[in-house]
Amino acid sequence: MKKRIISIAALSLLTVAQVAAQNVKIDGEIRSRAEVRDGFQEPLADSLSPAFVNNLRTRLNFGYTNEKVKAKVSLLDSRTFGKTAIAETGAGVGVLEAWGEYNFTPAFSFALGRQGLEYDDKRVFSYNNWSNTPGAHDLLLLKYNAETWQVHAGSAYNNAGDVNFEALTPYTLTYKTLNFIRAEKNFGKLSVSALWLNDSYQSGSATVQTVNNVTTSFRNTVGGNVWITDKKAPFTFLASGYYQFGHDKTDKELSAYLLSLTAQQKVGEIVAFQLGGDLYSGSALDIAADKSNTFNKLYGSNHAFNGNIEYWRNLPNQGLIDGYVGATAKLFPKFDINATFHYFATQKEFKAGEKKSIGSELDLVANYTVSDQFSLQGGWSAYFVNDGTRILKKKVDVDTHFPQWAYLQLTFKPTFLNSKN
């Protein structure tokens, strides 16, 4: 028995040594978010009761790195407390990411597989970490990362299944094709990025390019960002501008834009003030039926912009103006609290003779980082409804609660193995 125990122990040590020599990291995340929804995303009718929900997200990440190769596999399970019975396991675990990367040189590499994309302020491409089901793309990504330059180019082509010929019906799960190139240049304390993105969507109507009775509409987005890279500087800002043209998902001729500016001024070591605004172009009431001036938010974060209560998660057809002011106080090294007030309006009139104002919102968020492996976040948001809100949310003749939303989120990030040479 002793010999067997010694043999098992020796084998275990050898296995660990081999794993350590291969630069392997295995970590995870267990995140629980409890929410009280009393008018979340839209005003709640008085005849309905607020909801209390608790969602659980579990991730298990396997990472591998050596001089030439990187790889990652990330498994995800998302569930709502009570959705499955005690003896049931639910729908099972899915693959969030699975990619391999090869380094031709220290600066040039390519990655292939399912992978998350995140650039700039996460407005166009985001991992969507707030969501219980983050997003990832199936694509080939070419990377050039030098000291002051970064250039990434990605390409994707999607099918609904393992087919032998192109489907006779439109592909509608997401985009049919995606191609982009993004360049970033650092000039010391200032950085500039530029992006060109072309994505296509399919439908069953034939007005642009018809193949097998399927119409493919191509949309282009061009633009970039300018920002101060030194986050410790007393004053920082990020300015963004994008223009969209081509055709939207419904095959309308598209001409739209987004302008955004956010700035922060620190006052001492504790308080910082934020001021900013977003302008998403919209379509006028008398626009031609086959044209659109409504900007599409693409694949960015839905929660990080335009209010935490997510009333304008999907932009109004008339566009959106979001002006906001806020303050952050870092009361302790591991604790901070933020308050932000938003004023919302549409860029175009949503009803002839109606004002463009669609309400305002107050967001409060507190963060407490207990350690690298455990943190807490809590928040409360309230939306101040007006006539414009009721018109766009189709609640004109409905008595509603005062819209508010609160949450408490606990995040555990255990590291099971981290071997480095």
Q: Is residue 365 in a domain?
A: yes
Q: Is residue 324 in a domain?
A: yes
Q: Is residue 9 in a domain?
A: no
Q: In this predicted structure, what is the pLDDT of residue 209?
A: 54
The candidate with the shortest Cα–Cα distance to 365, out of 357, 376, 356, is 376
Q: Is residue 16 in a domain?
A: no
A 10 A CB-CB count for 249 gives 17
Q: In this predicted structure, what is the pLDDT of residue 206?
A: 46
**What CATH number does residue 336 fall under?**
2.40.160.100
Instruction: Output b/e per residue, 268-285; b: 16+ Cβ within 10 A.
Output: eeeebebebbbbbbbbee
Beta bridge partners of 332: 335
Q: Is residue 37 in a domain?
A: yes
Which is it for strands 137-145 and 108-115: parallel, antiparallel or unpaired?
Answer: antiparallel
Q: What is the pTM of this model?
A: 0.90
Question: CB within 8 A of 332, min separation 6: which ones?
Answer: none
How many whole angstroms separate alpha carbon 294 and alpha carbon 288?
13
Q: Is residue 2 in a domain?
A: no
pLDDT tens digits, 251-292: 999 999 999 999 999 999 899 999 999 999 999 999 999 999
DSSP characters over 181-199: EEEEEEETTEEEEEEEEEE
Q: In this predicted structure, what is the pLDDT of residue 2?
A: 44
Q: Is residue 43 in a domain?
A: yes
Q: In this predicted structure, what is the pLDDT of residue 136?
A: 96
Tally the domains of the chain. Answer: 1
Q: In this predicted structure, what is the pLDDT of residue 1?
A: 46
Domain span at 374: 26-418
Q: In this predicted structure, what is the pLDDT of residue 90?
A: 57
Return phi, psi of residue 194, to 5°: -135, 145
* Positions in the chain whose pLDDT score sits under 70: 1-21, 88-91, 205-212, 421
How many whole angstroms separate alpha carbon 208 and alpha carbon 25?
48
pLDDT tens digits, 159-218: 999 989 888 889 999 999 999 999 999 999 999 999 999 999 998 754 555 556 788 999
Q: In this predicted structure, what is the pLDDT of residue 205?
A: 54
How many whole angstroms separate alpha carbon 145 and alpha carbon 150?
5
Q: In this predicted structure, what is the pLDDT of residue 11?
A: 43
Q: Is residue 142 in a domain?
A: yes
Question: CB within 8 A of 353, min separation 6: which ones?
Answer: none
CA atoms within 13 A on the CB side of 184: 20
